Amino acid sequence: MNAPQSAPYQHLVDGRSVAASTGETLPMIDPSTGAVFAHIAAGTADDIDRAVRAAQAALDGTWGRTPAAERGRILQKLGRLIEDNVEALAWIEAQDTGKTITVARNDIRVTARYFDFYGAAADKLHGQVIPFLDGYSVSVLREPHGVTGHIVPWNYPAQQMGRTIAPALAAGNAAVLKPSEDACLSCVRIAALALEAGLPPGALNVVTGLGEIAGAALTSHPGVNFISFTGSTEVGQLVQAAAARNHVPCVLELGGKSPQLIFSDADLDAALPFVVRAIVQNTGQTCSAGSRLLVQKDIYETFVARVADAFRKTRVGTPAMDLDCGPLMNATQLGRVQKFVADALASGIPLLAEGLLADGLPSGGYWTKPTLFGPVPRDHALACNEVFGPVLAAMPFDDEADAIRLANATDFGLVGSVWTRDGDRQQRVAKRMRCGQVFINCYGAAGGVELPFGGVKKSGHGREKGFLALEHMSITKTVIHRHG
């Protein structure tokens, strides 16, 4: 892969690979070993300022005049370049995040698909003509916001980049991306590939570094016209406050505590692998992880026993071992997950099953086992709060009304699933669940590039993915022409 980076990984600003203004770097830690394996530029407010200016200059120059169809061609070419480099990018992603190589390969393919999808859609974002008074013509134009700021987390760096950057560029914005300090190498590589694909310098800039320095500088920069953030509820609040101070719109995607509802008439053989994968995949570090297993009480014992058996067979290993999941992201995550488990045990909640750690794992890695608890009291922290680890909380429910009450009982509302053979109930429950996506007799959706996604309540607001993201990444202007 022809990327201009050499260690340490540098920012990509105005089409050039540059060091931090201070020359300082941050170590990158391999979650499987706990060892430093690379360094990144430690971005500053000055670096962010340079990137925002470069983005504005791109809008004032070539990029701002590039027709939508040409923008689309460039993005689709980037999608092909990512596909051509799946293997190299997947290993970068796997080492950076600890995820299994199969998941990493899938992530990179989904990333390519974002650029392909939004590239194909770029020239299909049309305005409207509105019939109005005699002697008038009214058109509603769709225009880019301008400079868009994007902050993505460490759990799916490449995918999250594709998800937020591809629609932004397709809609004609120029972007500044601040990926997570914990995992950002694939983002820097993909930005370099974007130049190869023909994206003009400055249309996409990547500044690496700490959230509280580079991230905060980006969200408060007066030259940024739109903010897209994925991460924790707490930082989401800071981002929204910063956006409010500058009067700019923002999309927030903040995680969840998503329920998987299993009714007694469900196809349990079909449900079982989905239930396990929804929480074990990516070591539970997925905003849409199915972290609450709600089972109708007459089948609770038997179905949860089957889930426990499946949990005991899950295996944790390095990316190259390619088992069910890898390590957690960092020492903070490990401490967080261990605290949830310890608190649940101290509360006397039965630990029903644990997965296995593979033999010979590096001792410095952030290892944890998939863990099943149940029945978890409805008001316990494990039933209400996001663990962001492979810990599943099982709870029984009485009937449909109770299931809906329980499904909606947390502060979050990102996704949910309902498993039942009753078609009327499928629709009733889907309509009453307070969340942004409902899966009926399935969970997760192969990346779901074309499916609008986002939350309600503390899971955030605004929508990503699908055509709706293009609409969010643009703004209308109504032009009223009196011509007599």
By CB under 6 A, name the one of 38, 90, 235, 261 that touches ligand NDP. 235
- Residue 184 known to be catalytic: no
Closest separation in Å from C-beta 444 to ligand NDP: 14
CA pair distance 54, 202, nearest whole angstrom: 5
With CB under 6 A, what is the number of residues at the site for ligand NDP? Answer: 27
- The span of 55-63, 232-240, 310-318, 424-432 binding ligand NDP (CB under 6 A) equals 232-240
- Which lies closer to ligand NDP via its Cβ, residue 87 or residue 212? 212
400 is a site residue for ligand NDP (CB under 6 A) = no
- Residue 464 known to be catalytic: no
By CB under 6 A, name the one of 287, 295, 323, 418 that touches ligand NDP. 287
151 is a site residue for ligand NDP (CB under 6 A) = yes
254 is a site residue for ligand NDP (CB under 6 A) = yes
Helix axes 157-170, 185-196, angle to 10 degrees: 40
Helix axes 185-196, 86-97, angle to 10 degrees: 160
Sign of CA dihedral 474, 478, 483, 484: positive
By CB under 6 A, name the one of 147, 239, 409, 435 that touches ligand NDP. 239
Kindly report the number of other CB atoms within 10 A of residue 433's CB atom.
23
216 is a site residue for ligand NDP (CB under 6 A) = yes
Beta bridge partners of 391: 371
By CB under 6 A, name the one of 149, 215, 326, 370 that touches ligand NDP. 215
232 is a site residue for ligand NDP (CB under 6 A) = yes
327 is a site residue for ligand NDP (CB under 6 A) = no
Residue of 253, 386, 400, 464 marked catalytic: 253
By CB under 6 A, name the one of 212, 265, 343, 398 that touches ligand NDP. 212
Spell out, one character per residue from 111 to 150, where the chain touches ligand NDP: x when CB under 6 A holds, - when not.
----------------------------------------
Residue of 250, 287, 325, 435 marked catalytic: 287
By CB under 6 A, name the one of 226, 300, 388, 419 that touches ligand NDP. 388
- Which lies closer to ligand NDP via its Cβ, residue 9 or residue 397? 9
- The span of 40-48, 204-212, 308-316, 470-478 binding ligand NDP (CB under 6 A) equals 204-212
- The span of 92-100, 125-133, 252-260, 415-423 binding ligand NDP (CB under 6 A) equals 252-260
464 is a site residue for ligand NDP (CB under 6 A) = no
- The span of 84-92, 153-161, 296-304, 439-447 binding ligand NDP (CB under 6 A) equals 153-161
Is residue 49 classed exposed, middle or buried when 0-12, 13-18 and 19+ CB atoms within 10 A define those classes? middle
- The span of 5-13, 213-221, 405-413, 437-445 binding ligand NDP (CB under 6 A) equals 213-221
End-to-end CA distance of the chain: give it in Å, rounded: 59
Closest to 232 in 3D by CA, of 211, 258, 218, 207: 211
200 is a site residue for ligand NDP (CB under 6 A) = no
Hey, which residues are catalytic here?
A: 253, 287
Question: Could you list the residues that contact ligand NDP (CB under 6 A)?
Answer: 151-155, 180-182, 210-212, 215-216, 219, 230-232, 235, 238-239, 253-255, 287, 336, 386, 388
